[in-house]
């Protein structure tokens, strides 16, 4: 009874974490977490979970349960789904789907439409130097800049 609770709590926690990863649009990582989350429940249902096995169970009893018990077949199905998901995510990850997840975080650039022919060559043009700004009327060139107004107010007050 305790082993069932432990295995299904582990499964529920893994599925919840996979849901959080999917919410953050990390679908490849979410699928991996979901696949790993299925393992404890699958192991318990097949009778392979370490706490679920009883000491003194004979091989014949286990084989009989394997053939006749639908719980065992459910556990085998869960383990199979988990294995398929892990292999698939590994294969998709190697093909570059991980780059798709990181590309979703970057802002998209508008794509340029392809031209009918080769792109016309443009001559390299050096940037033109900008003319220096002229000081605003009433401001002095002594480096005070914005403090010229304050200095004028202080002078009017006699400070």
Please tell me the predicted confidence (pLDDT) of residue 51.
Answer: 46
Angle at 135 between CA 132 and CA 141, to 5 degrees: 105
In this predicted model, what pLDDT tens digit does every residue of 61-105 receive, in sequence order?
A: 767 777 788 888 899 999 999 999 999 998 888 887 555 555 555
13-22, long-range: CB < 8 A, 24+ apart: 13/37, 14/38, 14/40
How much is the mean pLDDT over the chain? 77
Whether 52 contacts 44, CB under 8 Å: yes
In this predicted model, what pLDDT tens digit does every residue of 121-144 receive, in sequence order?
A: 766 666 677 766 665 555 555 566
pTM (predicted TM-score) = 0.53
Nearest CA-CA partner of 44 in 9, 18, 15: 9
3-state SS, residue 24: coil
């Amino acid at each position: 009874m305790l082993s069932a609770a432990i295995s299904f709590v582990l499964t529920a926690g893994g599925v919840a974490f996979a849901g959080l990863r999917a919410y953050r649009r990390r679908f490849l990582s979410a699928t991996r977490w979901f696949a790993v989350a299925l393992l404890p429940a699958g192991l318990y249902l097949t009778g392979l979970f370490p706490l679920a096995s009883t000491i003194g169970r004979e091989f014949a009893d286990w084989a009989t349960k394997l053939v006749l018990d639908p719980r065992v077949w459910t556990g085998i199905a869960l383990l199979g789904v988990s294995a398929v998901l892990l292999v698939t995510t590994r294969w998709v990850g190697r093909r570059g789907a991980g780059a798709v997840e990181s590309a979703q975080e970057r802002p998209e650039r508008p794509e340029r439409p392809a031209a009918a022919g080769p792109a016309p060559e443009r001559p390299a043009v050096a940037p033109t130097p900008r003319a220096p700004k002229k000081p605003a009327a009433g401001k002095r060139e002594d480096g005070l800049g914005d403090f010229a107004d304050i200095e004028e107010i202080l002078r009017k007050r006699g400070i």
